[in-house]
Amino acid sequence: MARRDYLGSFELMVLMALIRLGDDAYGVPIAREIESHLDREVALGSVYATLSRLEERKLVTSELGDPTPERGGRAKRYFRITAKGIREARDTQTVLVRLWRDVPQLKGGSA
Amino acid sequence: MRRLALNEQRDPRGAPPPAATWLLARFGCGPAIESLAGDLVEEFHHGRSRAWYWRQTLAGIATSFAEDVIRHRLIVLQAILTGWTALFLFGWLLGDPMFEWLDTLAAARPMMPRVYPPMVVGSVGYVMCGWMIARLYRSHRAAAVIAFLACALVLQLPRLCDLVVDALGHPRYLPYLSGHLAGMILTIVSVLFGGFGLPCGRASKKIVEAD
């Protein structure tokens, strides 16, 4: 059986944030999108570390924007999910849903 | 979350802490550090506090270091081995002549503050190792130098534990403990100075961009 690397929970969150943000996905909005659902602070460094890992696995691509004075002359790095990334996210969701199903402790939000 | 964000509100016109920005540029690893630094500045100008900026900077350095070490573990291992080899060669070839020179110096100038030769020789050796690692592993400089430093400190820990136990048993061991602690601090300063404070070739200023 071929070895498969399923996504970790934070990797999945980052991919979902990328899908939701579309073309405007760079560090700050990605972290904000995750924070708004997690209800706690997210380290931007962790977001970039995860994105760099996902990029290495070709699940996302990135390109540099123009440097802006607001950012001290530094460019934004925009990220976009690839078709492979969408496929991986869907596969991970399928596995999670399958595992979730028919577990009595997880029914009705009591656990 | 909203409460957290409101608590973090500060004067958006202030400049971000320069020391934090400097630390991130120096010790941050990987190609995304420039973008991360830009994001932090942007968020700071949108009202985040200095405490938030510092927290995110330190987390960014730690995360990028861990990520670089995990992704390039062979290179980091190679850097650690290079550092120890260089330190061994330094001690073997230059250690004794340096000890002799320091003794002669101390004898010739009795009024000169007393230097502790092993510490001086060790510091010079660690500076040289830090510099050599930085020069040989430019594209992973921060990860390589910090990993070597961590390794050097871990190797000094057993002796530190022994001395702590001894000093707790009897106060006459306290000077030995403080001497060892001073040596550890000197190790940190020396490796960091050699790795980040000295020029390490053409790419040293462009390290963040080149990475």
Q: Tens of pLDDT along A25-83? A: 999 999 999 999 888 889 999 999 999 999 999 999 999 988 888 888 888 999 999 99
Q: Of B47, B70, B93, which one is at a domain's C-terminal end?
A: B70
Write down the pLDDT at residue B133.
Answer: 94
Task: Tell me: do B109 and B188 sit in the same domain.
Answer: yes
Going B198 to B199 to B203 to B208, the CA torsion angle's sign is positive
Interface test with A, best of B1, B29, B35 (most A CBs within 10 A): B35
Number of domains, chain B: 2
B64 chain-A contacts, CB cut-off 8 A: 45, 48-49
Task: Tell me: do B102 and B63 sit in the same domain.
Answer: no
Q: Which residue did the predictor score with more confidence, B130 or A3?
A: B130
Task: Tell me: do B57 and B15 sit in the same domain.
Answer: yes
> Which amino acid does the sequence have at A52?
S
B44: distance to nearest CA of chain A, Å? Answer: 9
Q: Is A44 in contact with B42 (Cβ distance < 8 A)?
A: no
Task: Tell me: do B115 and B167 sit in the same domain.
Answer: yes
Evaluate whether residue B205 is within a structural domain.
no
Task: Tell me: do B178 and B83 sit in the same domain.
Answer: yes
Q: Which domain holds residue B52?
A: 3-70
Percentage of chain B beyond pLDDT 70 is 84
Q: Is A44 in contact with B1 (Cβ distance < 8 A)?
A: no
Q: Is pLDDT of B19 > 60?
A: yes
Evaluate whether residue B204 is within a structural domain.
no
Evaluate whether residue B114 is within a structural domain.
yes
Q: Of B38, B70, B102, which one is at a domain's C-terminal end?
A: B70
Q: Which residue did the predictor score with more confidence, B18 or B207?
A: B18
Evaluate whether residue B155 is within a structural domain.
yes
Task: Tell me: do B189 and B130 sit in the same domain.
Answer: yes
Q: Provide the β-strand partners of residue A77.
A: A64
Instruction: Write the residue in B42, B61, B71 that is nearest to A70 by C-beta.
Output: B42
Q: What is the pTM of this model?
A: 0.75
The answer to whether the complex's ipTM is over 0.90 is: no
Max avg pLDDT among B6-15, B53-62, B102-111? B53-62
Q: Is pLDDT of B7 > 70?
A: no
Q: Read off the pLDDT of residues B98-122 as tens digits, 9 standing for 90 and up.
A: 777 777 777 777 666 665 677 778 8
Q: Is pLDDT of B164 > 90?
A: yes
User: Could you say which DSSP state residue A22 is in?
Assistant: G
Q: Are B29 and B139 in contact (CB under 8 A)?
A: no
Task: Tell me: do B193 and B95 sit in the same domain.
Answer: yes
Evaluate whether residue B206 is within a structural domain.
no
B43 chain-A contacts, CB cut-off 8 A: 28, 44
A73: distance to nearest CA of chain B, Å? Answer: 8
The DSSP string of chain B is -HHHHHHT---TTSPPPHHHHHHHHHH--STTHHHHHHHHHHHHHTT--HHHHHHHHHHHHHHHHHHHHHHTHHHHHHHHHHHHHHHHHHIIIIIHHHHHHHHHHHHH-TTSPPP-HHHHHHHHHHHHHHHHHHHHTGGGHHHHHHHHHHHHHHHHHHHHHHHHHHHHH-GGGHHHHHHHHHHHHHHHHHHHIIIIIS--SGGGTTHHHH-
